[in-house]
Amino acid sequence: TTSLDASGSATVSSAQLDNGSSDNCGAPLTYSPASMVYSCADVGTRAVVLTVTDRNGNTANCISWVTVQDIISPVAFCRDFTALLDASGYVTVYSAQIDNGSADNCSGSLIFSPSYFGYTCADAGVRTATLVVSDAHGNTASCTSSVTVLDATPPVAYCRNSTVNLDVTGSATIGSALYDYGSYDNCGGSLTLSPASVSFTCADAGVQQITLTATDASGNTSSCVALVSLLDGTPPTALCRDITIQLNAQGNATVNSDQLDNGSTDNCGGTLTFSPAVLNYTCADMGLRVATLTVSDGSGNNAYCTSLVTVQDNNSPVAVCQDITVSLNSSGTVTVYAAQLDNGSTDNCTASLQLVPASVSYTCADIGTNMTTLTVADNYGNTASCQAAITVLDNSAPVAICRNMTVSLDGSGTAVVTASQVNAGSYDGCTAQADLVFAPSMFAFDCDSIGARTITLRVTDENGDTGTCTSVITVQDITAPIAVCRDITLWLDATGVVTVPAAQLDNGSADSCNGLLSYSPASFSYSCNNTGIHYVTLGVRDAQGNIGSCTSQINVLDTISPAVVCQNLNVST
């Protein structure tokens, strides 16, 4: 084992490695290598092969383990240092900051212990720091340094804005606690705040600046600015009065705030403002209305009071009439409503005016021109009047009422219906029934009219007005035809039968409407069993189903000789 010297080197000779090498022929022996030189780089255990040579050149080897060690302590050099606490009240002083060139025989990196020194506000002043220097091989040395710990960080001045209400005397005094928002120092402790308090008056109303200065125990200072909003905390005294207003002809009215104010005041004086500045009223506000007046001082304080505003309308409506012409109805009456006479009467407020009288009735006695006074009233008792001329006419047609009826043609095939028969109570409002004129005065029917016939009856009153109605006249023929028969002789034919059509028995039958006639039965048939005289009844029917009859004598004869047919016979006797 060999130790490095202060220069970081060590020399080991072969003699130090030889441990009694010998030779059969004795000395001298030679060694190789003669010596080994080590440096800091060789610290540790090294293997050395020692070659021993005798006088005859014979050699032998052995291995020696050389442990190279560094036992020289480094040289520690310190220097004094001034450290400034940071904003958090702490400072770190690293070993390199107080090392003043410590060195070691083996150079290389030195290890400092501790690696750093930490100081807080509690360490303010001069502190001794011992630095231990270690080399790579564990050799150590130490030195001391005087570390001056200083607090050069100013405190943090932290302001807050605030709002302060002036009291009823118009003044306010506030302490630093109101505008300080927690100013602090890195080292804690109590700060000195300046100014400690500030006083204000009404003249300072608005926003004022306060510069707050904070000083720590080390004499460091900092400042901030706080904005103080000074308000007049006392609202004004609001006084209102009640008023009555009249709407104008357009239905509007305006009230200014000074009409409602009754001497409102404020503790700080100054000009007061009123809201709303103007209140507008219309017809919709008629009656008693509550108006709230807001009184504001220069500091924005508000007070309220209420006024009772009575809104009235003393404006009469404008009455406008129109002349009209009306006609009596079929009953001889007519009703005229006020709305017919009104020609656009208006009012500043009332949309739907009341018209008096609501209606006027006229009869036949009022035919001609009649003067009527129309009174127009609004909802608030104001009235106006105008006159209208009402001309009453009878333009109403009579009410014509017809009845339906049935008539029968006479033996000549004609029938007559008079107007009085068709009339079923026609009437007119202004003409007596006896004075009504009916046209035509009669209606004539014949065989061509058989069936339902519609006729129109015209009814005219004294004023020439005409009404009509229709009637259905059912014309019927109920007269049977006149049947005339003749007597005839019939002869059986070769087959012993004979048939005669009924028409051969007719001897000039006739009908009032001269239509085609039909016979019943249609024919008469006879056989050999019916020879002789027969009396038959012939039925004659007209187109309307009316039937007449007559009797005819029929003489049936057989004048045909029999046919004789003989046959030969063989007779045995």
Give the per-residue pLDDT at 214: 93
What is residue 6's DSSP assignment? Answer: T
Mean pLDDT, residues 490-502:
92
Give the per-residue pLDDT at 89: 87
User: Does position 171 have pLDDT exceeding 90, yes or no?
Assistant: no
Mean pLDDT, residues 335-350:
92
Instruction: Give the containing element (helix H, strand E) for 284.
Output: none
The β-bridge partners of 230 are 164, 206
Average pLDDT, the chain: 91
Q: Cβ distance 396 to 329 under 8 Å? A: yes
Residues 91-125 pLDDT 10s: 999 999 999 989 988 877 888 899 899 999 888 88
For every residue of 115-158, which 3-state class applies, written as one string? CEEEEEHHHCEEEEEEEEEECCCCCEEEEEEEEEEECCCCCECC
Q: Cβ distance 341 to 374 under 8 Å? A: yes
* Structure tokens, 326: 């009306």
| Closest C-alpha among 448, 443, 447 to residue 473 | 443
Give the per-residue pLDDT at 463: 82
Instruction: Give the containing element (helix H, strand E) for 59.
Output: strand 59-69
What is residue 267's DSSP assignment? Answer: T
Q: How far apart are the first and last CA of the chain?
A: 213
Give the per-residue pLDDT at 109: 83
Residue 461 identity: D
User: Does position 326 have pLDDT exceeding 90, yes or no?
Assistant: yes
> What is the number of residues in the chain?
573
Give the per-residue pLDDT at 428: 83
| Closest C-alpha among 412, 414, 413, 479 to residue 442 | 414
Give the per-residue pLDDT at 202: 84
Residues 446-482 pLDDT 10s: 988 899 999 999 999 888 889 999 999 999 998 899 8
User: Does position 529 have pLDDT exceeding 90, yes or no?
Assistant: yes
The β-bridge partners of 456 are 470
Task: Give 330's pLDDT tier (boundaries 50, 70, 90).
Answer: confident
Residues 181-210 pLDDT 10s: 988 888 888 899 999 999 998 888 889 999
Residues 422-439 pLDDT 10s: 999 888 888 787 888 999
CA 120 to CA 98: how far, in whole Å? Answer: 18
Give the per-residue pLDDT at 165: 86
Give the per-residue pLDDT at 234: 84
The β-bridge partners of 97 are none
Mean pLDDT, residues 247-271:
90
Residues 150-166 pLDDT 10s: 888 899 999 999 988 88
Strand ranges (DSSP E) for 485-560? Answer: 488-491, 497-501, 518-520, 523-527, 532-541, 547-557
% pLDDT > 90, the chain: 64
Cα dihedral 492, 496, 502, 507, rounded to 10, equals 10
Q: Cβ distance 134 to 113 under 8 Å? A: yes
State the chain's maximal CA–CA distance in angstroms. 228
Burial 507-537 (b: 16+ CB within 10 A, else e): eebebbbeeebbbeeeebebeeebbeeeeee
Task: Give 275's pLDDT tier (boundaries 50, 70, 90).
Answer: very high
Instruction: Count CA within 13 A, CB hemisphere, residue 550.
Output: 21
Q: CA 121, 123, 127 angle in degrees (round to 5)? A: 150
User: Does position 411 have pLDDT exceeding 90, yes or no?
Assistant: no
Q: Cβ distance 27 to 37 under 8 Å? A: no
CA 233 to CA 301: how far, in whole Å? Answer: 7
Q: Cβ distance 84 to 114 under 8 Å? A: no
Give the per-residue pLDDT at 387: 95
Give the per-residue pLDDT at 169: 78
| Closest C-alpha among 436, 441, 444 to residue 467 | 436
User: Does position 350 have pLDDT exceeding 90, yes or no?
Assistant: no
Residues 210-257 pLDDT 10s: 999 999 888 889 999 999 988 887 889 999 999 999 999 899 999 999
